[in-house]
Amino acid sequence: MDKYRLICPKCGKTYGKYDMLCPLDGSLLRTEYSKKQFESCDLPGIWKFYNWLPVEGVIKKGSSKTRTYKSEKLADKLGLENLFISFNGYWPEKEAYMRTCSFKDLEAYPTMQRVSEQKKERILVVASAGNTARAFAHVSSITGLPLLLVVPENALEKLWIPAKSTSSICVAVVKGDYYDAISIAAQITDREKFMPEGGARNVARRDGMGTVMLDATLTMKHLPDHYFQAVGSGTGGIAAWEAAMRLKKDGRYGDKLPQLHLAQNFPCAPLIQLHEGVAVDPKCPEGMYDTVLFNRKPPYAVGGGVRDALEATGGDLYGITNEEAEEARLLFEELEGIDIMYSAAVATAALIKAVRNTKVSRSELIMLNITGGGVKRALKELATIRLEPDLVVSPEDSEAPAKIIQKAEDKFE
Ligand SMILES: *Cc1c(COP(=O)(O)O)cnc(C)c1O
């Protein structure tokens, strides 16, 4: 029996292992694992969850996993008895060693493993303004699998990686914003030698992020009642819901799905706009606390997407202002003792709001997903290098995709 298969959650049809959408109804495909009860593996990092990852092998080097622990100080401050923090980032005292400091690490490893399993020699293309680019670049430098990064120019300063070699990475800088980078990348992935990473449609990304829910549930020995996360696309929320459904079917961790509490950064909150009809400021993402949380086309209405996840779990969306996020960040850092990324501060602010509005009660099991943290520590303690541009293109240049393709093909010849 195969380790897993991909099915459409709407029509139930089975698809090939590398398909991404149901051609009949457009739904996100979902992984169904042959092992219905979860068994951990004695492997490093994320591979502890190997049995529920859509891969047939592992990339051992440099991988880490979530560390879930019971909060004392923040929990006390908020009057909560069972607050568990799932930390994704670099924090040696907690044995948290995600070297690019965010849960994008959990997406990059299984995705790159799957790329290596597809026999065709192809170049993976990732358009990103930050954490995703770093995570994929790190795994590329470890494995040597060729990666083409298409990034806006303001992202360059964020492109440090804890690695020695960058020879497997081609960096194309677009003199424009994140959306210019995405649009150019889309014209490249059409070509035969290139492949898109797939975003929310990629089951390796979702099941990778789903390991945060697995880690928390194994630590708490029960599914949480509430799940808090800051979202841009909302893919992490979908992933948490899918992992929770598997754990519910497992039978040993409770029979109620955790309620999703997904947080966005006001006034640039496209998911809230789709959900409630609140307008997004046309100036967005300008002035945002964390632009990581801005996505113009989140997978909201697609089958198996954010709307379905919220409906199935009785979940809620939160709009968090920059001031609320900053206040939450300072509180978290003071009480828990580690620096966190701005988006994780947005999730913390949503938790504070939920406590104030009695959306959660004192004794319930609450899980706070700290999606990124420990950057200050990592930059101090790890040897990092900066990625340099291989070429710079203008979004107005109609030859830009062709120039990038040429450069990447030359580099990876
Ligand atoms: C990408 C990212 C998020 C948002 O993730 P979704 O894909 O919307 O679930 C939150 N926090 C950090 C640190 C991220 O890098």
Residues 180-185: contacts with CB within 8 Å, 24+ apart? 180/152, 180/395, 181/127, 181/128, 181/129, 181/150, 181/151, 181/152, 182/127, 182/150, 183/395, 184/127, 184/150, 184/393, 184/395, 184/400, 184/401, 184/404, 185/125, 185/126, 185/127, 185/150
* Best probe residue, ligand 1, of 128, 158, 371 (max atoms within 8 Å of C-beta): 371
Same domain flag for 234 and 326: yes
Please report whether residue 17 resides in a domain.
no
Residue nearest to atom 9 of ligand 1 (CA): 236
Please report whether residue 26 resides in a domain.
no
Same domain flag for 396 and 339: no
How remote is the CA of residue 406 from the centroid of ligand 1, in Å? 32
The CA–CA distances, whole Å, from 94 to 89, 134, 228, 383 equal 10, 22, 21, 20
Please report whether residue 14 resides in a domain.
no
Q: What is the pLDDT of residue 313?
A: 98
How remote is the CA of residue 128 from the centroid of ligand 1, in Å? 12
How many domains is the chain built from?
2
How remote is the CA of residue 409 from the centroid of ligand 1, in Å? 31
* Best probe residue, ligand 1, of 100, 107, 229 (max atoms within 8 Å of C-beta): 229
Q: What is the pLDDT of residue 293?
A: 84
Write phi, then psi, for 114 (nearest 5 degrees): -65, -35
How remote is the CA of residue 231 from the centroid of ligand 1, in Å? 5
Nearest atom, ligand 1, residue 343 CA:
11
Nearest atom, ligand 1, residue 234 CA:
8
Same domain flag for 221 and 282: yes
Q: What is the 3-state secondary structure (H, E, C) of the chain?
A: CCCEEEECCCCCCEECCCCCECCCCCCECEEEECCCCCCCCCCCHHHHHHHHCCCCCCCCCCCCCCEEEECCHHHHHHCCCCEEEEECCEEHHHCEECCCCECCHHHHHHHHHHHHHCCCCCEEEEECCCHHHHHHHHHHHHHCCCEEEEEEHHHHHHCEECCCCCCCEEEEEECCCHHHHHHHHHHHHCCCCEEECCHHHCHHHHHHHHHHHHHHHHHHCCCCCEEEEECCCCHHHHHHHHHHHHHHHHCCCCCCCCEEEEEEECCCCHHHHHHHCCCCCCCCCCCCCCHHHCCCCCCCCCCCCHHHHHHHHCCEEEEECHHHHHHHHHHHHHHHCCCECHHHHHHHHHHHHHHHCCCCCCCCCEEEEECEECHHHHHHHCCCEECCCCEEECCCCCCHHHHHHHHHHHHCC
Please report whether residue 391 resides in a domain.
yes
Give the domain CATH number at 156: 3.40.50.1100
Please report whether residue 262 resides in a domain.
yes
Same domain flag for 372 and 280: yes
Nearest atom, ligand 1, residue 372 CA:
13
Same domain flag for 127 and 224: no
Which regions of the chain are under pLDDT 70?
none
Same domain flag for 373 and 389: no
How remote is the CA of residue 402 from the centroid of ligand 1, in Å? 31
Q: What is the pLDDT of residue 229?
A: 98
Nearest atom, ligand 1, residue 131 CA:
15
Residue nearest to atom 5 of ligand 1 (CA): 231
Residue nearest to atom 4 of ligand 1 (CA): 231
Residues 273-278: contacts with CB within 8 Å, 24+ apart? 274/298, 274/300, 274/301, 274/307, 275/300, 275/307, 275/310, 275/317, 276/317, 278/319
Percent of the chain with pLDDT over 70: 100
Residue 209 Cα to chain centre, angstroms: 6
Same domain flag for 93 and 145: no
Same domain flag for 218 and 82: yes
Nearest atom, ligand 1, residue 231 CA:
8
Residue 231, burial from CB neighbour count under 10 angstroms (0-12, 13-18, 19+): buried
Q: What is the pLDDT of residue 319?
A: 94
* Best probe residue, ligand 1, of 233, 268, 294 (max atoms within 8 Å of C-beta): 233
Same domain flag for 240 and 368: yes
Q: What is the pLDDT of residue 85?
A: 98
Same domain flag for 183 and 239: no
Please report whether residue 298 resides in a domain.
yes
Same domain flag for 234 and 163: no
How remote is the CA of residue 230 from the centroid of ligand 1, in Å? 7
* Best probe residue, ligand 1, of 98, 107, 131, 310 (max atoms within 8 Å of C-beta): 131
Nearest atom, ligand 1, residue 233 CA:
8
Q: What is the pLDDT of residue 314?
A: 98
How remote is the CA of residue 334 from the centroid of ligand 1, in Å? 23
Write phi, then psi, for 371 (nearest 5 degrees): -75, -15
Please report whether residue 110 resides in a domain.
no
Residue nearest to atom 7 of ligand 1 (CA): 235
Residues with CB under 6 A from ligand 1: 102, 104, 131, 230-237, 292, 341, 343, 371-372
Residue pLDDT, tens place only, 8-63: 999 999 999 999 899 999 999 999 999 999 999 999 999 999 999 999 999 999 99
Same domain flag for 234 and 344: yes
How remote is the CA of residue 83 from the centroid of ligand 1, in Å? 21
Please report whether residue 20 resides in a domain.
no
Mean residue pLDDT of the chain comes to: 94
Range(s) of the domain holding residue 280: 67-102+203-378
